[in-house]
Structures are given as C-alpha cells and as structure tokens.
Structure 1
Amino acid sequence: MTAFAPPTVMTQGDPDGPLVVLLHGRGSRESEIIALADALPAGFHYAAVRAPIAEHGGFAWFANRGIGRPVPDSLRETMDWFRSWLDEVRPAGGPVFLVGFSGGAAFAGGLLLDDPHCYAGAAVLYGTLPFDAGLPTGPGHLAGVPVLVARGDRDQVIPRDLLDRTWQYVTAGSGARSTARRDPVGHALAPAALAALSDWLRAEAGGDAAA
C-alpha cells in the first residue's frame, strides 16, 4: 500500500458552516481551485485539498488507464487516504458537499459511489464518474442523493462516451436527485455553471448555511 503524505489543505469561509470540499483537476493543485470560493456563497466552510500523487508539476487523484479511467487499486488507495482525513476534520453530524472539476469530478464521483450516504451531495463538473473501477454503479445506487452534473458541449478533453454515460447515469439510472446542465463551452467552468453551483449549494444546505 502506498504511504501518502498528510493532505495539504487550503480553507476559506465560515469554519462553522457546512463543509464544501473542493477537488481540483489533474495536474492542478489546491491553490488554484480554492479561488472558486470567492464566487460561491457565504456561510460555508470551503476546503481545497491537494491530490496525493505528484504529476507533471501538479497533482493527480489516481493513476489512469486512460483519460477518465482510473486504475482501480490506485483509486481505492487515494479514496481511503481522503476518507481518513475527512473523518478527522468533518464536523460532528454536519453536512459535507463534494465539488470536483475534471479529474476531481471523477474522484468526487468515486467517493460518492463508494459511500453515498456519507455526503450531503456532490457536484460533478466537466468530468466523468469513474466507471469500471470496481465501484457500484447499479440502478438506484444513488437514490435520493443530490447530484449536480455539468458538462461542456465542446469538451475535447473528457471522452464523449464517458460524458454521455455519466449524464445518463446521474439523470436516470442512479436514482439521484439530479440537477443537470450543459454549457456551450469546452473543458472550462462556464460562469453560468458556477452560478448554478452556488444556487445548488444554497438550496441543498437550506438552513445549515448561515446567511
């Protein structure tokens, strides 16, 4: 088993608010995705976590068999590493939201599939769920779980078959309480998608987030 270093984490917002974990894309780092917190609602505690695998000057959440296709053993190791950190820092009984972009979306999706009831919801932004990685993806597996899925119709990074499969599973097969949007952009977060993420967090947190 790989011995990963403890996570490097940047935080912003209200430490007493619902926890929103921001998961960056492949080759990026926590200091980049934490900038999203400036455009997201007040009243939340935002934590941007650095992925544990150094790669090409940045960091990755898992070893790949191809874009969007994690090596199952690698994904299992990094998910267990993440959960060890989360179990130490999550507020007792408090909600935890996952927000992942690109490779971070696949990682967020893996965490959600592995333990759907651990999270108050997950946003899968411009990425794919980690299909064929040893995680359950059967009908109704995410029944009632809030999931926001967003994709760019001009995305040339994530394979189209994975984008389509993710869209279909989240909006139909999974049973999730889904919010779905498509934007006329490539592999980059559209301003309208960021606004939709803000609205989704407010709606799902309800009275748990301070005004």
Structure 2
Amino acid sequence: MARDRRSTESDNTPMVARWGTGHPSAPLVVALHGNGTSEHSMIEIAPWLPHGPVAYLAVRAPIEGDSGFIWFDESGPDDLAGTTRWLLDWLETEGDPDRPILLLGFRDGVTVAGAMMLEAPDRFAGAVLLYGALPDGPATSLVRGRLAGMPVFLAHGTGDTRTPTDRLLSTWSWLSTQSGAPLWAERGPGGAQLAGDVVGHAGTWLGDRLDHLRAHGENPLPDGDEPDWPIGRLPERVGPPPKVTTVTPQHQESQNAPAHLQAELWKRVVALDGVSTAPATVGVAGTRSLLLDREHAEGPDAAFVLPAEGEFAHLHPESDGSLHVALPDALAYDALAKGWAVAHPLAGVRVSAGMVLVPGPRDEGEVEIVAGIVAASHRFAAAG
C-alpha cells in the first residue's frame, strides 16, 4: 500500500481518540472500529461503558480508504500480519508495561483483535468481540487452549449480512469448544450498528471483568512443566469436544455420559474425605452438590463453586452428566488444553478463573480420569 494512503501520526504511530482516566497503570480498553469508519465511531460509545479507573482508547485504522479507514490490504505490506505487529509494537508504549489491556472490536475490528489475541495471548486480559469473525489464519494459531485465561464476550447478529456465514460459524465454534477462553456468547437482532442491547450487555460484562481484575489481578498462563494430578499426568481427551452452552446455566449438550457411568463416578467422588452431598442451589434442575465440611475445608474461596456452602463441585443431572469444579489455575489450563474442560462463561468475570465444566465420562477409562479431576478440586478445597 502506498505510503501516502496511510493515516497515522508522523512517527507512524496510530491516530487515536481517548476517554476516561489518563493514569498509566489503569486498565486500558483498546477499541478497534470496522472498515469504512474511524476511531470516532468507537470512542462515542465509551460514556455508555463502565466508568471509574479505566482508560478507553479508540484507534484509527492505518489505511485511508475511499470512505473512512481500513485495517489491512492483503496485496501490500499493510496486510493483517503487518497491521497486527504494528499495533502490538505500539501498545508497548501505552502506559505501564503491566497494566491490564482489553480489546473491543467491531466488525472488521474483530478480525484485527482476533489476530492480536492469537499472536500474543499473554498480552491481553480479555476481549469484547461484536459482530465480526476471527481471521482465517494459520491452523497453528488455533490450537486447543490458546486463549485459556482470557475471558471473551462474543455477540453475533442475526441481521449480519456483511460477514460470511461460514466465518461467523467457525468463530463461534472454535471460541466455544477449542479456545479455552471463558466465553460468554450470544446471538440477537442486529449486526450492522453498535446500538441497543448489545452495548448494554457488553458493558455489564466489561464492568464485571474490570471489577474482577481489581480484586484478583490477572491470571497469566503458568510456565514450566505439566502439572501433576492425583492420577499423574493428564492425558489428551480423545475425539472432538462436546457442545456446551455459552451462557449460564452452563451445561453439556452432546456426548452425554451414560447413566451407569455417572453412577460409578458419583460413587467414587462421594467417598472422598469429608464430602457430603445435597441438592444444588445453582445450576440446572437436578444438579447435586459435593460439599466439604468445615473441618476439611482449608482452601481459598477460589477453590469453591460456592464458598459459603463449602461446595467445591457439582454434578449435573442424568440427561447431562457433566460437572462444574473449581481448580487451581495451572490445573484448569492443563485440562482446557487437553480437552477435559470447558471454561465457565464467567470464569475470571464473576467466578474464579479456575472454574470449569468437565464433560461426563464416555467409558470406564474416562470415569478414572474425571474422578481424578474431581479429586484435584477436592484437594484444592481441602488444603489450598
């Protein structure tokens, strides 16, 4: 792309619009507009998003188009990879290096945000993706668990006629089953404008994520060797992931566990030290809680689904067979990467970052593995 068609500052940094606090360590929300508009179309919604110690920064796409600005042109040096690297390098200069950064993308801005997330998942504390699709990037960036620990809000519009349907479907599918991200995803009317309920829903989610960051900090991916479980190293789960709901109450919708395997699993987990059972107070109807008595419960609040009740896990009813468990972050991320867990939609938003759904066992061998995951949750709740 010719240099004279670029729309940047003289030093090639982005043109931006700002709103909110100027404190260099405050959480930063980076907003990316759709092609054909500008940074002003995004900064205008900032007053309807959470206030407080948070900075909003809307970026202008670098290429001047016939109408508005565009993010990349695959026929020249300003391709998606080049734009992604340009934005990531520039973010190094925006405030303190350890400040939490979240992305807010609209339409084509979702593609750019997705490329940034996939290229450098450790750099971002969350993302709001509105009416757009992830890039058609190399399969190496779409590995299972790539976005573990990064909460994502995804909204697709039933009236979206600009984004190819296959890209919308593949984005929804990968984020909800393979990415490892705690995903809250919803479909509703719209797809052309940032207006109506979607801004309110995204704002509520964003406010909850910011509150969680202030209270608990970020939960970066652990380094080092694979963690040890009560059963040793966790193997890879065989086959494709099950379908799981993307809002609460979260439950499994395919590959459901046979009733006799659920019964065998229940027999094993209720035999753990200090465990009692009761009908659950959260979850779908028929859910059964696994409770740890006060004598044994010495773990942190993050080790419990419901800390006040001592509930560290619960089993969904026979029509489902999955479980919710609270795990240490390192174990949760290991389970996500190996297909043995799907992050709770509000993990790291309203509940602990290690809250995951574990698919019910499909055979006798999986009973052993799932029981070992529950035992790890029990160990966390008992001793921290």
Q: Residue 41 of structure 2: SS of its match in structure 1?
A: helix
Aligned to 2:59: 49
TM-score scaled to structure 1, two decimals? Answer: 0.89
Residue of 109, 115, 121 corresponding to 1:110: 115
Q: How does 1:145-156 map to 2 (within 5 A)?
A: 145-156=150-161
Tell me how far 1:88 sits from its aligned partner.
Answer: 0.3
Aligned to 1:98: 103
Cα deviation, 1:59-115, whole Å, max 9, x if unaligned, reads 1111258xxxxx997111111111121100132311000000001011001100111
The code of the aligned residue for 1:29 comes to S
The code of the aligned residue for 2:66 comes to H
Aligned to 2:88: 83
Aligned to 1:169: 174
Contact 1:139–1:173 under 8 Å retained in 2: yes
Aligned to 2:18: 11
Residue of 9, 26, 36 corresponding to 2:45: 36
Aligned to 1:179: 184
Cα deviation, 1:128-151, whole Å, max 9, x if unaligned, reads 000235760122211221111111
Contact 2:150–2:182 under 8 Å retained in 1: yes
Contact 1:96–1:121 under 8 Å retained in 2: yes
The code of the aligned residue for 2:72 comes to F
Give the Cα separation in 2 of the matches to 1:145 and 1:47.
Answer: 20
The code of the aligned residue for 2:152 comes to V
Give the Cα separation in 2 of the matches to 1:9 and 1:73.
Answer: 18
The code of the aligned residue for 1:74 comes to D
Aligned to 1:68: none
Give the Cα separation in 1 of the matches to 2:74 and 2:180.
Answer: 28
Aligned to 2:69: 59
The code of the aligned residue for 1:179 comes to W
Q: Residue 31 of structure 2: SS of its match in structure 1?
A: strand
Q: Is residue 142 of structure 2 the alignment partner of residue 132 of structure 1?
A: no
Give the Cα separation in 2 of the matches to 1:122 and 1:175.
Answer: 14
Q: Is residue 33 of structure 2 the alignment partner of residue 24 of structure 1?
A: yes
Give the Cα separation in 1 of the matches to 2:171 and 2:184.
Answer: 13
Cα deviation, 1:150-200, whole Å, max 9, x if unaligned, reads 110121110111111111111111111111111122322342111111111
Give the Cα separation in 2 of the matches to 1:77 and 1:137.
Answer: 19
Contact 2:130–2:156 under 8 Å retained in 1: yes
Give the Cα separation in 1 of the matches to 2:90 and 2:15.
Answer: 10
Greater Cα radius of gyration, structure 1 or 2? 2
Aligned length: 205
Identity %: 39
Q: 1:107 to 1:159 in 2, by over 3 A?
A: same
Q: 1:207 to 1:144 in 2, by over 3 A?
A: closer
Aligned to 1:191: 196
TM-score scaled to structure 2, two decimals? Answer: 0.50
Give the Cα separation in 2 of the matches to 1:176 and 1:2.
Answer: 38
Give the Cα separation in 1 of the matches to 2:110 and 2:65.
Answer: 17
Contact 1:113–1:135 under 8 Å retained in 2: no
Give the Cα separation in 1 of the matches to 2:184 and 2:77.
Answer: 28
The code of the aligned residue for 1:56 comes to D
Structure holding more strand per residue: 1
What root-mean-square deviation, in Å, do the aligned CA atoms of Structure 1 and Structure 2 show? Answer: 2.3
Tell me how far 1:8 sits from its aligned partner.
Answer: 0.5
The code of the aligned residue for 1:21 comes to V
Contact 2:102–2:125 under 8 Å retained in 1: yes
Q: Residue 110 of structure 1: SS of its match in structure 2?
A: helix
Moved more, 75-84 or 112-121: 75-84
The code of the aligned residue for 1:6 comes to T
Tell me how far 1:208 sits from its aligned partner.
Answer: 5.0
Q: Residue 181 of structure 1: SS of its match in structure 2?
A: strand
Give the Cα separation in 1 of the matches to 2:117 and 2:77.
Answer: 15
Q: Residue 47 of structure 1: SS of its match in structure 2?
A: strand
The code of the aligned residue for 1:39 comes to W
